[in-house]
Amino acid sequence: MSRIVPEGEEDTITPPDHFRIWPDDARQLLKSLPDGCLDRAYLMFPDPWPKARHAKRRFIHPENIRELARLLKPGAVWRVASDHPVYQDWVFEIMGAQDLFDAPPPAKGERPEDWSPTRYEAKAYREGRVPFYWTFTRRGA
Ligand SMILES: C[S@@+](CC[C@H](N)C(=O)[O-])C[C@H]1O[C@@H](n2cnc3c(N)ncnc32)[C@H](O)[C@@H]1O
């Protein structure tokens, strides 16, 4: 995104017509979209909220999983990356307990080909953490 709209130039750059930025809580946007409208979704290095008492704030959560399942077409993929051990365990636990997505084990420590790098990912590697990269596929006909 920052290649299209460099930081600090948000007010002067006109992005391409098909490009939209939602500057608010992503959950509001998801709620407003129609069923089966997405071919792909990304959740890149979500805030880990590592304290157990904050677990409800983690984006990977049954309610958000149901919302993504509503929006993604059957066979569409949801890519999720996290470098935080607490969040990684959480993703295994929560995605292992649902049946809306196929949830094979993640790639670990090396970004799969055709995934874009992110700033937070670079920071994770610099600081010696090991990102996990999941590809969840929406089940259905
Ligand atoms: C750890 S940063 C990762 C940023 C970027 N995805 C990356 O990989 O470099 C997590 C980001 O998620 C954003 N965020 C957290 N909850 C959000 C929500 N409900 N809707 C939209 N953004 C959210 C935070 O503002 C923060 O910028």
Q: What is the pTM of this model?
A: 0.93
Active-site annotation holds for 47: yes
Pocket of ligand 1 contains residue 45 by CB under 6 Å: yes
Q: N- to C-terminal Cα distance for the chain?
A: 32
- Residue 44, exposed/middle/buried by CB under 10 A (0-12, 13-18, 19+)? middle
Tens of pLDDT, residues 79-134: 999 999 999 999 999 999 999 999 999 999 999 999 999 999 999 999 999 999 99
Establish if 103 belongs to a structural domain.
Answer: yes
DSSP summary character for residue 44: E
Q: Which of 35, 47, 89, 102 is catalytic?
A: 47
CATH number of the domain encompassing residue 59 = 3.40.50.150
29 in ligand 1 pocket by Cβ < 6 Å? Answer: no
* Number of domains making up the chain: 1
Q: Which H or E element spans position 96?
A: helix 85-96
Ligand 1 within 6 A of CB of 121? yes
In angstroms and rounded to an integer, the radius of gyration of the C-alpha atoms of the chain is 16
> Which atom of ligand 1 sits closest to the CA of residue 123?
9
Instruction: Supply the range of the domain harboring residue 117.
Output: 35-138
Torsion, Cα of 65, 1, 133, 66 (10° steps): 0
Does residue 5 form part of some domain? no
